[in-house]
Chain A
Amino acid sequence: MAFRRIILGQVGRVGERSMSSWWRNVQPAAKDPILGVTEAFLADPSPDKVNVGVGAYRDDNGKPVVLECVREAERRIAGNLSMEYLPMGGSAKMVEETLRLAYGENSDLIKDKRIAAIQSLSGTGACRIFAEFQRRFCPDSQIYIPVPTWANHHNIWRDAHVPQRTFHYYHPESRGLDFASMMDDIKSAPNGSFFLLHACAHNPTGVDPSEEQWREISYQFKVKGHFPFFDMAYQGFASGDPERDAKSIRIFLEDGHLIGCAQSYAKNMGLYGQRVGCLSVVCEDEKQAVAVKSQLQQLARPMYSNPPTHGALIVSTVLGDPNLKKLWLKEVKGMADRIIGARIALRQNLEKLGSSLSWKHITNQIGMFCYSGLTPEQVDRLTNEFHIYMTRNGRISMAGVTTGNVGYLANAIHEVSKSA
């Protein structure tokens, strides 16, 4: 019998048959296109190196920033409370404050308890739970994703096993919105399709629909009965005014859409590593909201059980204190303003260098990113010759641009693009 053989035979070492690894066929995975950029940047010894890759805010000295309101909140939090499990749906207080940001301070939907909402692992986690929810309860549905979009959006819905389609969005020639094609795609999609929309500061292009365009989109969505899912990762960060940045969502809500929304505090509160966000789904009534929330929790439980408490505590401390909230709004505006200033400076520098190309899009676009229009080959030259790091789609994180490096950056861009 096998047993006897084992007990009498090899003691301690595993049998010959399984000497090689079970994982020998595991291929090395491709590096994440966005996060891989920072890794490469960090490894570069050049003193001139510039990181305009990942979308994390930097001050004018190129340093990461911890907001004052956050530091103060952390001081208040440290050392007092327990670290008990949050409920599966997360911190109720944090979720409540977060809904007010997206839906409005006096939102009827909030008053009527029609929004099913859970704390999520930042924007990624909110999108993923929604994708899983969509798969489970609308198993025949697909998700329409704009071209281009944040690369991870494709991964998220793919891993949730929701089939994907794309819709036109960016117009390369004008480096603006391809509104006509976008509307065509919205109209020709089957009724009741699910669409992923960037609420503001589209990533990676920085190209947003105008208010009038949003209204048209909302109207067409009603005609077609489409489901709008908003990914709002930059509220407050785009224009400096959170209310203004939520305009697209408010338009849809006024038109009666029952939306879904992913919110993140990674950028606008600088809480990147804390992984704080919120997933919300607007329902017909309170009863439905209770049911939907319970199902969202059922998806969170086998993924991570309940969300992390620390970041949520920071958010609810900041937003729950009128003075801290005021401070936060001021600091968010400061960040947004610096980025807007960086856009202006970069464009001016390029124009002063006598570039024959149009760089208007740098100031037309909004939010953290500028879709420069540079080709992958030009980006490679920027990296290899000038030690400038960005993603190969030509996306520049404006947060990485400073008064110190804008001239160098403009010069380098001009160099690689002037023969274009």
Chain B
Amino acid sequence: MPKKSKRKKKRKKKKTKRHSQQKFSFTDMNADQLLNNSSSSSSTDRRLRILAKHLQSTSSSAMESNTVVSASPTSAAGSSVFAHIVQAPEDPILGVTVAYNKDPSPVKLNLGVGAYRTEEGKPLVLNVVRQAEQLLVNDSSRVKEYLPIVGLADFNKLSAKLILGADSPAVQDNRVTTVQCLSGTGSLRVGAEFLARHYHERTIYIPVPTWGNHPKVFTLAGLAVKSYRYYDPTTRGLNFQGLLEDLQSAPSGAIVLLHACAHNPTGVDPTPQQWEQIRQLMRSKALLPFFDSAYQGFASGSLDADAQSVRMFVADGGECLVAQSYAKNMGLYGERVGALSIVCRAADVASRVESQLKLVIRPMYSNPPIHGASIVATILKDRNMFHEWTLELKAMADRIISMRQQLFDALRARGTPGDWSHIIKQIGMFTFTGLNSEQVTFMRKEYHIYMTSDGRISMAGLSSRTVPHLTDAIHAAVTKVA
């Protein structure tokens, strides 16, 4: 039994707040008359008295002001049932920003979390998003009621079209069920929970490496997590042979997580030909594809090009899951907007699947947040706004591609040992530098450069101004640290 802590109990007399009297629309008998009809003293009447006091203008309620509270001198309360809990380690990705924020150095550089930054190093709210928000704010007819469990209907339809293509037969045949979820994470989690309950195979294969949160999402959802080879450190490219072998030896029906484009953290994507081979292999073994699409439009600058892998699988008539996020491509990070689509063989199947997805969602958060989805729907359904979005998206993608080129050129000009061509071969927000954790630590300590310990840098965090500093740091790390 822990000793009583030093906290003193200051018992304050409760002051009753007086609020202005409110007029009602119900005007018949008032509460007084109601009360006078009751005779016995009971909790019932006490309740009525409370109500009555509430309706009349009163001086301070006798109930509260004179109550003296004494704590019973007892044993059981005082020690926590959670006393054994130890502090959890910082999230490896989000913890980088925490550490960055604490650093006082004026030259510090945050290349940790994958959030887009402008050339000036500032976060960016897209113009088209601002426009959409203004429209929403000015629309006084809008209310903030609960969305349905599956989210905003418009948003769902438009999201499915965005990833699958406007003319996708799966969409036209009503074979797709789409539910709004909390960004990519939420979509993955809801999809995984559904699979754990309703799918006959409870193992998911994830690439090595992958986004740090993937294994936790799937494990907590009730799936067993295995891996397949993906990244080849020697080439800093795709270990295609290893990938095929590992998928070939997976049990029939196993779930396979695929990054739709701009693989996180490596930036290494299969070519279209390689995707086709992967598709054929997976279909031959009835492996179930679960796509994580977090960067559509952000990788190449083209929404359609970045969706090719997903569309290839859907085109063969088979089933798959797709988790979509609007965090990066619409800059809606904190609004938590995303969608889970399950492509089924038949419309009635899709409808039953939707009903089961609702059972996963309801006990998790009841229904999804309205604001971000409303912004997305506003943009996607308006031709002009949609077009403007594609331009802003391409500008972001182009800036990142240009950063890649600048960093590559700078390292080459510097004569930094090693082949740095992977910087321009990899795609999307991240570069897997190939730096080891000692080098990463060195760069943080000596150069105040922050990245995840696997050597992943977010190109979005770089600018022309900061490329030289990063180049210096990489050069030093590679030449001084093993």
Binding site for B on A (CB under 8 A): 2-3, 5-7, 12-15, 17-29, 31-32, 35, 54, 56, 60, 64-66, 70-71, 74-75, 78-79, 81-88, 106, 108, 112, 121-122, 124-125, 128, 132, 137-138, 141, 152, 155-156, 158-159, 176-177, 191-192, 210-211, 213, 219, 221-227, 239-241, 243-244, 251, 254-258, 266, 270-275, 281-285, 288, 290-292, 294-295, 297-299, 301-311, 329-330, 333-334, 337-338, 340-342, 344-345, 348, 360, 363-364, 366, 403, 406
A-B pair count, CB < 8 Å, reads: 370
Given the interface pairs A22-B288, A302-B216, A364-B48, the reply to whether A344 lies near B34 with Cβ below 8 Å is yes
List the A side residues contacting B17 at CB < 8 Å.
241, 243, 329
User: Which residue, A26, A239, A257, A344, has most C-beta atoms of chain B within 10 A?
Assistant: A26
Starting from the known contacts A15-B286, A284-B79, 6 additional A-B residue pairs (CB-CB under 8 Å) come to A141-B81, A273-B146, A297-B91, A303-B182, A303-B217, A311-B369
Across the interface, do A330 and B19 meet the contact criterion of CB distance under 8 Å?
Answer: yes
State the CA gap A27–B355 with chains docked (Å): 9
B22 part of interface (Cβ distance < 8 Å): yes
Q: Determine whether B113 belongs to the interface, using a CB cutoff of 8 Å to chain A.
A: yes
Q: Which residues of B contact A158 (CB under 8 A)?
A: 363
Encoded as 1 (CB less than 8 Å from any A CB) or 0, chain B from 304 to 336 comes to 000000000001111100000001000111111
Q: Which residues in A have their C-beta under 8 angstroms from that of B43? A: 176-177, 210, 213
Contact A255 B318, CB 8 Å, known A284-B83, A306-B334: no
B window 81-99: CB within 8 A of A: 81-88, 91, 94, 98
Across the interface, A85 reaches (CB within 8 A) one of B5, B63, B334, namely: B334
CB-CB under 8 A for A337 and B22, given A29-B359, A56-B146: yes
- CB<8 Å pairs between A and B, sample of 24: A21-B344, A32-B358, A83-B123, A121-B182, A124-B362, A124-B364, A128-B364, A152-B363, A224-B76, A240-B54, A243-B17, A251-B69, A256-B77, A272-B146, A274-B370, A274-B371, A284-B5, A295-B88, A301-B94, A301-B185, A304-B189, A305-B336, A329-B19, A341-B26
CB distance from B47 to the nearest CB of A (A): 5
Interface flag for B207 (CB, 8 Å): no
Nearest CB of chain A from residue B11's CB, rounded to whole Å: 7
| In contact, A87 and B78 (Cβ under 8 angstroms) | no
Closest 3 pairs (CB-CB, A-B): A225-B76, A273-B370, A309-B334
Q: Are A66 and B2 in contact (CB under 8 A)?
A: no
The minimal Cβ–Cβ distance linking B335 to chain A, given in whole angstroms, is 6
From A20, A28, A304, residue with most partner B Cβ within 10 Å: A304
- Which residues from A are CB-within-8-Å of B145? 56, 64, 272-273
Which A residues are in CB contact (< 8 Å) with B143? 64-66
Minimum C-beta distance from B119 to chain A (A): 16
Q: Which of A88, A225, A273, A290 contacts B147 (CB 8 A)?
A: A273
Q: How large is the interface on B (under 10, 10 to 19, 20 to 34, 35 or more residues)?
A: 35 or more
Contacting pair A122 B365 (CB below 8 A): yes
CA distance A13 to B183 in the complex (A): 32
- Contact in complex: B283, A15 (CB < 8 Å): yes
B contact residues around A363 at 8 Å (CB)? 34, 47-48, 51
The answer to whether B26 and A301 touch across the interface, beta carbons within 8 angstroms, is no
Q: Cβ of B213 and Cβ of A301 under 8 Å apart?
A: yes
Docked-complex contact B85 and A295, CB < 8 angstroms: yes
Do A281 and B220 touch (CB < 8 A)?
no
User: Residue B455 at the A interface, CB < 8 A?
Assistant: no
Whether B363 pairs with A240 at a CB distance below 8 angstroms is no
Contact check, B48 vs A302: say whether CB atoms are below 8 A apart: no
A303 and B79 contact, Cβ closer than 8 Å, known pairs A66-B144, A75-B137, A308-B334:
no
Determine how close the nearest CB of chain A comes to the CB of B345; give it in whole angstroms. 4
Instruction: Encode contact with A along B200-233: 1 for CB under 8 Å, 0 otherwise.
Output: 1000000000000100110111000000000000
Residue from B86, B288, B317 in contact with A291 in the complex, judged by beta carbons closer than 8 Å? B86
Q: Is there contact, CB below 8 Å, between B94 and A18?
A: no
Contacts of B34 in A (CB 8 A): 344, 363
B264 → chain A closest CB, angstroms: 13
Q: Which of A3, A251, A273, A310 has the most CB of B within 10 A?
A: A273
Provide the residues of chain A in CB contact with B63, threshold 8 Å.
211
Q: How far is the CB of A215 from chain B (nearest CB, A)?
A: 9
Measured CB to CB, the nearest residue on chain B to A55 is B146
The residues of B that contact A337 with a CB separation of less than 8 Å are 22, 24, 54-55
Is there contact, CB below 8 Å, between B24 and A338?
yes
Closest B residue by C-beta to A290: B87
Q: Which residue of B lies closest to A159 (CB)?
A: B363
Q: How far is the CB of A11 from chain B (nearest CB, A)?
A: 8
Q: Are A87 and B94 in contact (CB-based, < 8 A)?
A: yes
Whether B47 pairs with A364 at a CB distance below 8 angstroms is: yes
Contact A294 B19 (CB under 8 A): no
Q: Is B413 an interface residue (CB 8 A)?
A: no
CB atoms of B217 and A254 under 8 A apart: no
Whole-angstrom CA separation of A2 from B287 in the bound complex:
14
A360 CA to B44 CA in the complex, in Å? 9
In the assembly, what is the distance between CA of A88 and CA of B355, in Å?
29
Write out, one digit per residue, whether chain B residues 362-390 have a CB within 8 A of any chain A CB (1) or not (0). 11111111111000000000000000000
Contact B335 A344, beta carbon cutoff 8 Å: no
- Are B25 and A60 in contact, CB atoms less than 8 angstroms apart? yes
The smallest C-beta distance from A149 to any residue of chain B, in angstroms, reads 13
Judge whether B365 and A219 touch: CB under 8 Å.
Answer: no
How near does chain A come to B461, taking the closest CB pair, in angstroms? 13
| A256 B51 Cβ-Cβ under 8 A | no
Establish whether residues A88 and B91, one from each chain, have CB atoms under 8 Å apart when the complex forms.
Answer: yes
CB neighbours (8 Å) of A17 from chain B are 286
Among residues of A, the one whose C-beta sits closest to the C-beta of B38 is A360
A28→B119 CA distance, assembly (Å): 51
Contact, CB under 8 Å: B213 / A85: no
Cα-based distance from A25 to B288 in the complex (angstroms): 16
> Is B174 on the interface with A (CB-CB < 8 A)?
no
Known A86-B334, A308-B371, A333-B22; contact A222-B355, beta-carbon cutoff 8 A: no
- Interchain CB contact under 8 A, A304 and B85: no
Binds A, one of B161-169, B346-354, B400-408, B438-446: B346-354
Residue of B nearest to A18 (CB): B286
CA A128 to CA B146, docked complex, whole Å: 18
Q: How distant is B17 from chain A, measured CB to nearest CB, in Å?
A: 6
Q: Residue B130 at the A interface, CB < 8 A? A: yes
Closest A-chain residue to B95, C-beta based?
A: A88
Q: How far is the CB of B237 from chain A (nearest CB, A)?
A: 22
